[in-house]
Amino acid sequence: MSLLGQGVVAIWNDVASEGLAEFYEWHHREHMPERVGIPGFLRGRRYIAVRGAPEFFTLYEATGTDVLAGPHYLERLNNPTPLTRHVIPKYFHNMVRGVCDVRFSVGVGEGGWLITLRFAAKAGHEDELSRHLAGELPSINDTPTILGVHLCIADARASKDVQCIGPVAPERRSDPVGRCFLGERFAALVPRPPVIVAEQIDAVARIIPFQRKHRPAQR
């Protein structure tokens, strides 16, 4: 199906093996429910790689990038919980984070698998890449077993507004993402990228979704 809103937070990361139990407990019971409880956040999904790296991919869908640069989200980013301050600096590494505009999103359902393709246009080829994608993405969605195709473009300013959670080793710092292709389907597929992009491909399988409308009422 189409993404629920016009803005997303896309996060790729590895987790140190010794911290997996703490990561799952924190992510399941605190972090994702907290995020989808922020006004304007609509759904959160976490995936785990079956091929490629990093191991985890998390996608938050929001009404728009104004929400992702707005006061409610920034308040949570700049005032992380004690568990967030503990888990991320200690166990996260190879993290890439992007706050993105949704430029194209079509689909008929949610796939059990997701392909992510991070890429940036080569200098001077931005318009060429835009024309290429405008022509190719609808046809990808018509491919048998493909359930959704999405294109997200990073907002460089908003992507830099990350929380201060203490010292993070250089290999665990967040790097920006330029463009992101997301393809949902029944079975794994690595799409063939155009030659005018520099790409990194990760194939991932979904673990668990969190959606705002499914959260229990707060008392």
Distance CA(110)–CA(97), nearest Å, equals 23
DSSP at 202: E
217, part of any domain: no
Instruction: Say if 151 falls within a structural domain.
Output: yes
What CATH number did the domain enclosing 23 receive?
3.30.70.100
Residue 218 within any structural domain of the chain: no
Q: By residue range, what is the domain housing residue 198?
A: 7-212
Whole-number Cα distances in Å, 57 to 14, 66, 104, 209 = 9, 22, 20, 12
Domain tally for the chain?
A: 1
pLDDT of residue 91 exceeding 50, the answer is yes
DSSP-derived letter for residue 218 is P
Identify whether 132 is part of a domain: yes
Classify residue 214 by burial, with Cβ atoms within 10 Å: 0-12, 13-18, 19+. Answer: exposed
pLDDT, tens only, 94-144: 998 889 999 888 888 777 778 888 877 777 887 888 788 878 888 888 888
**pLDDT number for residue 208:** 40
Residue 2 lies in a domain: no
Is 219 within the bounds of a domain?
no
pLDDT in tens, 23-35: 999 999 999 999 9
pLDDT in tens, 155-186: 766 655 444 343 333 333 344 445 555 555 54
* pLDDT at res. 180: 58
